[in-house]
């Protein structure tokens, strides 16, 4: 039995269906870091892995709120405070009916290593609720956010734990959460990031994750000796914050983005997607992508029911570079095979863990450039930390300054990941490079801080 298999075996006792995505994230990391554990016995001596895979604490609470028909609604709220060896717990809040403890543990665990890779002083955490924002009125969203914060405020603060957005939580929700936090604590402080600009948000926070993923891809393609993205066909999944800003940056640098998707279907527009229309549909009107074809009749809308058996329509479209930016496990082995067959050169994870382990293995075995989420989508949390800095010093940075620092951060992460992979004998493997580099920094801090 290899060391990685022995380590994985230790954690089987906590297995349950809810935890399957957490296991997926954890297993990948354990396999990647096995050479590091073997090269230095201190990580086993201080039981770093055993300590790292268990959150410092999981806070679970009831959220009771009144809908527009005066019916009482009850949801569950969570905050997983995973690890604060490098700084205050930091990570987003997800509002989606699929949220449970296992999903938030997977996201919080990934966040520890992602935040470590940024080189910034932030630990890892994640939170959210099984509340479904879809179809809710603005007042219902406000009432839910208020009720959620009336419990969460006890556990957060600028030096303790700083939540931000994720699926279903954007600047509108962060605004309501911040308003309630301020009201309860009488304190105007940066306890949340992703705030609207005019009351403490950073310029470019909304764009940061999508733009950062494109900057990362540019660096990776350069390091790997591949052609840059300008003039190339790209496919993007999702139509939310990350996807739309990835599309925006890709269009700015001259790439042709021919797709996007939501939970109901996929748009294929071979002439290049109309980003303004997408923003109107998804960010302003919060409606289905289907309406895109009412304006652009030459574009194709493929509803989920018509997806190829076992696969996703968006990964069946020929492209040079693919950007999964919707949700976990949205790119499976069949999808990977379709991308390979169609000549795809590069896959960048804008979403968290969008590719299944089988898909990653297949893409890597065919020598595609593969940028894992914890490295490629770290731009969002990096600019969140810039927001924390600005709030703490009561300053405002210009758009150019944030953009420059974001670009520098993504290029630095990419180089560090590539070099780490090379140092550990797995050149070109950005998954192993990211896991080893991210883990090492947190582990060394944990050892230095004592048990
Ligand atoms: P949004 O809520 O803004 O958008 C999510 C998008 O993904 C929507 O278009 C949604 O469709 C689609 N989607 C969600 N679930 C599914 C599904 N099961 N199948 C198909 N499509 C789905 O979220 P974000 O853009 O913020 O987040 C997207 C991903 O990026 C997540 O994995 C998140 O964790 C990750 N991420 C986000 C960061 C951020 O700064 N926001 C930072 C780093 C990572 P619909 O409109 O129908 O709901
Ligand atoms: O997954 C992520 O990195 C985020 N949702 C952003 C976290 C943050 O604190 O900005």
Q: Which of 187, 220, 237 is the last residue of a domain?
A: 187
90: three-class secondary structure by DSSP: strand
The catalytic position among 126, 143, 249, 441 is: 126
List pLDDT tens digits, range 210-263.
999 999 999 999 999 999 999 999 999 999 999 999 999 999 999 999 999 999
Q: Are 152 and 125 in contact (CB under 8 A)?
A: no
331: three-class secondary structure by DSSP: strand
One domain for residues 73 and 108: yes
- Would you place residue 13 in the very low, low, confident or very high pLDDT band (cuts 50, 70, 90)? low
List pLDDT tens digits, range 105-134.
999 999 999 999 999 999 999 999 999 999
CA distance 287 to 269: 18
pLDDT of residue 406: 99
Tokens describing residue 30: 């354990």
Tokens describing residue 426: 């797995």
- Would you place residue 7 in the very low, low, confident or very high pLDDT band (cuts 50, 70, 90)? confident
pLDDT of residue 196: 98
| Ligand 1 pocket, residues with Cβ under 6 angstroms | 165-168, 209, 238-243, 261-264, 325-327, 330, 350-352, 377, 380
Q: Are 166 and 132 in contact (CB under 8 A)?
A: no
Q: Specify if 449 maps to a domain.
A: no
Per-residue burial over 257-266, b = 16 or more CB atoms within 10 Å of its CB, e = otherwise: bbbbbbeebb
One domain for residues 103 and 161: yes
Count the neighbouring beta carbons within 10 Å of the beta carbon of residue 16. 10
Q: Residue 295 sits in which domain range?
A: 210-376
Q: Is the pLDDT of residue 10 over 60?
A: yes
- Is 182 catalytic? The answer is no
Q: What is the mean pLDDT of the chain?
A: 97
Query: Global pTM?
Result: 0.97
pLDDT of residue 15: 57
One domain for residues 16 and 109: yes
Residue with CA closest to ligand 1 atom 27: 167
pLDDT of residue 394: 96
One domain for residues 345 and 312: yes
Q: Specify if 104 maps to a domain.
A: yes
Whether residue 385 has its Cβ less than 6 Å from ligand 2 = no
DSSP category for residue 307: S
Contacts of 131 (CB under 8 A, 6+ apart): 63, 75, 95, 97, 144, 148, 168
Q: Is the pLDDT of residue 60 over 60?
A: yes
Q: Is the pLDDT of residue 8 over 80?
A: no
Please state the rounded mean pLDDT for residues 278-297: 96
CA distance 436 to 200: 35
Q: Which of 342, 376, 410 is the last residue of a domain?
A: 376
Q: Is the pLDDT of residue 382 over 60?
A: yes
Ligand nearest to the CA of 168: 1
Q: How far is CA 217 from the centre of its chain?
A: 15
CA distance 420 to 429: 9
Of 25, 96, 168, 242, which is best to mutate to test ligand 1, by the most ligand atoms within 8 angstroms of its C-beta?
A: 242
Whether residue 327 has its Cβ less than 6 Å from ligand 2 = no
For residue 265, the domain's CATH number is 3.40.50.720
Tokens describing residue 264: 């109901």
């Amino acid at each position: 039995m290899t060391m990685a298999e022995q380590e994985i075996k230790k954690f089987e006792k906590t297995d349950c269906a809810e935890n399957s995505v957490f296991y997926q994230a954890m297993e990948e990391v354990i396999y990647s870091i096995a050479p590091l554990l073997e090269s230095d016995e201190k990580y086993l001596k201080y039981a770093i892995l055993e300590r790292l895979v268990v959150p410092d604490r999981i806070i679970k609470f009831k959220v009771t709120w009144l809908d527009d028909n005066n019916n009482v609604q009850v949801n569950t709220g969570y905050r997983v405070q995973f690890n604060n060896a490098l700084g205050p717990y930091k990570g987003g809040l997800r509002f989606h009916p699929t949220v449970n403890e296992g999903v938030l543990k997977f996201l919080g665990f990934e966040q520890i290593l992602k935040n470590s890779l940024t080189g910034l002083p932030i630990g890892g955490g994640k939170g959210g609720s099984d509340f479904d924002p879809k179809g809710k009125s603005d007042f219902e969203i406000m009432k839910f956010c208020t009720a959620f914060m009336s419990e969460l405020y006890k556990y957060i603060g600028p030096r303790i734990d700083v939540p931000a957005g994720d699926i279903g939580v954007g600047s509108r929700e962060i605004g309501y959460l911040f308003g309630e936090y301020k009201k309860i604590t009488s304190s105007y402080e940066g306890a949340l990031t992703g705030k609207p600009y005019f009351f403490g948000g950073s310029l470019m926070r909304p764009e940061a994750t999508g733009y950062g993923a494109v900057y990362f891809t540019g660096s990776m393609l350069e390091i790997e000796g591949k052609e840059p993205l300008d003039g190339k066909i790209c496919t993007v999944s999702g139509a939310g914050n990350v996807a739309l800003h990835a599309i925006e940056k890709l269009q700015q640098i001259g790439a042709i983005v021919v797709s996007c998707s939501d939970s109901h279907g996929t748009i294929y527009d071979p002439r290049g997607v109309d980003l303004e229309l997408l923003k109107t549909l998804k960010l302003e009107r919060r409606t289905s992508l289907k309406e895109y074809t009412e304006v652009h009749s030459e574009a194709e809308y493929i509803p989920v029911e018509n997806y190829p058996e076992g696969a996703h329509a968006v990964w069946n479209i020929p492209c040079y570079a693919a950007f999964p930016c919707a949700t976990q496990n949205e790119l499976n082995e069949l999808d990977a095979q379709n991308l390979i067959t169609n000549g795809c050169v590069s896959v960048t994870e804008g979403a968290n863990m969008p590719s299944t382990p089988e898909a990653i293995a297949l893409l890597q075995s065919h020598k595609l450039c593969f940028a894992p989420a914890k490295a490629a989508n770290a731009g969002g949390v990096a600019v969140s930390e810039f927001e924390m800095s600005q709030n703490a010093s009561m300053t405002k940075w210009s758009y150019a300054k944030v953009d420059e620092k974001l670009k520098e951060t993504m290029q630095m992460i990419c180089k560090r990941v590539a070099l780490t992979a090379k140092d550990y004998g797995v050149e070109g493997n950005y998954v192993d490079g990211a896991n080893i580099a991210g883990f090492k920094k947190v582990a060394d801090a944990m050892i230095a801080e004592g048990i």
